[in-house]
Each structure stands twice: as structure tokens, then as C-alpha cells.
Structure 1
């Protein structure tokens, strides 16, 4: 397994990874089939991320992308010290420490970028993810009641933060 910065040439494979994550997990933002991004649009998004001060790191195995962690940095002067994080790992690769390795690599980047605050949201019933985030130093800052609608049911979301 390798963790590296995404390349524009990864756009098609990255889009497929995200679509697969949407199908494999009810914990991602998009429902299966809801992500309508084109490969060209994905290339543009990656290009924009690489040109700015945000980051996408990918995990690969056997030449295939199996996971990612994305950090979107605040753009205003008052929010440039923080980044919002999204992480996803293919079902077959979960529970193998890949999430921890992705977070460690991202935190190294965040320190180099002089970020001070990492933020993420997680569905409150996703206890596996909550435990991972707490293990690596995130704490629950608040609960957003009925923040999402999943399978016809309102779901609470934790807002979690790590100061670095």
C-alpha cells in the first residue's frame, strides 16, 4: 500500500473510487448514483485543489486507488488556519490501518502548511469512524441534530476537531 499526493492523471480512477465509496457505504455524503461529476470536471477539481492550498492524498494498492483523504482549507484570512476533512476507504480495505496512515500523512502536510485546526463531520451512529478519529486526537465539538436524511430517517452528525 502506498500513500501519495493525487495527480491530475488519477482523475478517472479517483472518480470511480468516489462512486464506489458512495455505493459501499451509507456514511458518505452522496447516495449511490447521485454523484454526477464528469471525468473532465474531476480533473478540474483536482487541478484546482493542487493549485490552491488544499490537499488530496490517495492510498493505492496493486495500481488501484483504495482510499483517499481530502482537506479543503479555508480561503478567507480568518479561516486559512483550518481545513475540513473528508475520508473514504474501500470496504475490502477497512480495518487495516489505512485510515490512520492517511490521517498521519495529512497531518504532516497540515503542519507544513501551518494549519492549526482540522475539522470533520461524521454520522453519530458511525462508531467505528468516531473511535478512529478519537484515537488520532479528534474530539467531538458538537452535535448537529437531524443534519442528514439517510434511508428516510433523520441522522445526527458529530462535528469533530483536532487542534495541531
Structure 2
């Protein structure tokens, strides 16, 4: 499979990203219930196209990463937070996730950030390994923070300097 191309999302990507979000939903990474119709718009007052990078293989969008300010506080504006990373099942193993993660780091640097943080569920071993391989370290754990499918799951806080 060809190497993924990363670009900033556009308004035209909204339906595709919404569909991708719904078909990749899993208790491995989601703390919200499975989406059901009528579906909420993918873009909203908090997040628009400029907050997303997308991965394409050929002309097909196969993933996205959401990069945002962790809070609206000016004293926290030197930090960016990954608030979503999704890769289509058929694109797993192509390097799309790693390419999105690296592009998010570059975009955060371009925006003047000094740190990049994220939260990941403790049982999401594949994501945790990817993040660790890209220089993220565990900075905190909120034990049994979520009750998902009858099991208590840790919320793992990770970060790295840029």
C-alpha cells in the first residue's frame, strides 16, 4: 500500500470524517456511547477543519488526528493536546497513524507549542506503544477513571516536549 499523505482537513471532509469516526468506534478507545442516528455533525463550535490533519492514501481519507488547546487559559497556550486519533481498519499497518502523529507534532511546533499531551485508555496497548515509540511518556494515571462495558479502565496521561 502507498505511503499516506497528510494534509489539513477542509470543510469538504466533514461527512467522510464523521463516517470514519462512526465505523472505527470501539470501547478500546471510546468513552462515549456508540454513535446512533441522528448523528451529530463532525465539526462543531469547538472543533473545525483547522483542528484536524487527515491522512490520505491515493485520494481516500483513511484517518485523522485532532490537535487542540487543552484549555482556553492563556497561561496554558504553549501546550497542544491530541484529542482524537483515528485510522480506518483497512489502513492499519500503512504508517498512517505514525504519520499523523508526526505531522501533529510538527503542526504543534509551527503553532509555537512547547509540549504535546494526550490521554489514552489504559487497556489500549497498541496506541500506548505507538505513542511511546514517538517519545511520549506516561505523566500520570487516573486509576479506574472510566467504567466501560462493566470494567473499570485507567485514564493514562502522556506527554512530550517539542
Q: Which range moved further: 87-96 or 100-109?
A: 87-96
Q: Write the distance in 2 (CA, Å) between the matches of 1:46 and 1:64.
A: 25
Tell whether the 8 Å contact from 1:22 to 1:30 is kept in structure 2 after alignment.
no
Provide the secondary structure at the position in 2 that maps to 1:33.
coil
Q: CA deviation at 1:127?
A: 1.6
The runs of 5 or more residues in structure 1 that have no matched partner are: none
Q: Write the distance in 1 (CA, Å) between the matches of 2:47 and 2:128.
A: 31
Q: Within 5 Å, which residues of 2 pair with 1:12-161?
A: 12-23=15-26, 26-33=28-35, 37-38=39-40, 41-45=41-45, 48=48, 50=50, 55-73=51-69, 74-85=71-82, 86-161=84-159
Tell whether the 8 Å contact from 2:144 to 2:152 is kept in structure 1 after alignment.
yes
Q: Which has the higher contact order (CA 8 A, sep 6+)?
A: 2
Classify 1:2/1:80 alpha carbon distance in 2 versus 1 (closer, same or farther; 3 Å). Answer: same
Residue 9 of structure 2 corresponds to 6
Q: CA deviation at 1:84?
A: 1.6
Structure 1 segments (4+ residues) deviating >6 Å: none
More helix by share: 1
Alpha carbon RMSD of aligned pairs, Å? 2.2
Q: CA deviation at 1:21?
A: 1.6
Q: CA deviation at 1:47?
A: 7.0
The runs of 5 or more residues in structure 2 that have no matched partner are: none
TM-score, reference length from structure 2: 0.85
**Cα offsets for 1:87-108 (capped at 9, x unmatched):** 1111222232211111111111
